[in-house]
Amino acid sequence: MSVLSAGNLAKSFGPTQALLGAEFEIDRGEVVAVMGPSGSGKSTLLHCLAGIINPDAGTVTYAGADLYALPDERRTFLRRTEFGFVFQFGQLVPELTCLENVALPLRLGGMRRKKAEAAAVEAMSRLDVAELGGNRSGEVSGGQGQRVAVARALVTRPKVIFADEPTGALDSLAGERVMKALVSAAKELDTAVVLVTHEPRVAGFADREVVVRDGKTSGSMVSA
């Protein structure tokens, strides 16, 4: 049973048809790479799947519910509690320590500092960055920062992580370390990962690849 799926998605921005009949399916704990040329619709697909962009047509189903039929507050709540996000860069608050950055989603959710920091340490250990807890995130390397960002995305124990070019700003060695850590943590926690990348080496860490071309997907279904 897929945790997240989408059928027949269409989305236009003015005259630009970003998605036109895209499909997608991902199982619990599965890592799926979304590949395709620049401008093919990868980010738009990710944003539709993540509850951020309402498609013009088609449906996104998360845990059996039609995501865009839910009230806005409910969808926002699901996004904050059940989804995690990793971007290319710039997602950490540079003035905060790495530990504070990772604990932040839990603190914003109302968790007490001690409990949130204990969970943050655990998430950081999985990503092999526990020793950076006291460093300001603005002071660590790009690769370390991305592993901290993955720890932050995982700290709420999301069901799905959306990673949009998470290694795009890194050299290949640092990128490989981020991918290895992301995939092993996702497998241990049974978290699905939707990984947008244009790099075949990075996609090689995924269980499966979906290719987006002119707003259409191929290889998008589990059984395909």
User: Which residues lie near ligand ADP (CB under 6 A)?
Assistant: 13, 16, 18, 36, 38-44, 47, 50, 52, 76, 79-80, 85
Identity of the residue, 76 or 141, whose beta carbon is nearer to ligand ADP in the bound complex:
76
Identity of the residue, 117 or 165, whose beta carbon is nearer to ligand ADP in the bound complex:
165
Spell out the residues 6+ positions from residue 208 whose beta carbon is closer than 8 angstroms to its own.
30, 31, 32, 33, 219, 222
Min separation Cβ 54 and ligand ADP, Å: 12
CA-based angle 110:50:175, to the nearest 5?
Answer: 90
- In 3D space, the residue among 22, 18, 27 whose CA is nearest the CA of residue 7 turns out to be 22
Min separation Cβ 14 and ligand ADP, Å: 6
Identity of the residue, 94 or 131, whose beta carbon is nearer to ligand ADP in the bound complex:
94
Q: Are strands 31-35 and 192-196 parallel, antiparallel or unpaired?
A: parallel
Min separation Cβ 51 and ligand ADP, Å: 8
User: Please, are residues 212 and 36 in contact by the beta-carbon 8 Å criterion?
Assistant: yes
133 secondary structure, DSSP code = T
Instruction: Please give the Cα distance from 37 to 63 (Å, whole number).
Output: 30
Identity of the residue, 79 or 147, whose beta carbon is nearer to ligand ADP in the bound complex:
79
Identity of the residue, 62 or 85, whose beta carbon is nearer to ligand ADP in the bound complex:
85
Instruction: Please give the Cα distance from 155 to 125 (Å, whole number).
Output: 11
Neighbours of 21 (CB within 10 A): 15
Min separation Cβ 177 and ligand ADP, Å: 23
Min separation Cβ 41 and ligand ADP, Å: 4
User: Please, are residues 158 and 117 in contact by the beta-carbon 8 Å criterion?
Assistant: no
Min separation Cβ 58 and ligand ADP, Å: 15
Identity of the residue, 39 or 131, whose beta carbon is nearer to ligand ADP in the bound complex:
39
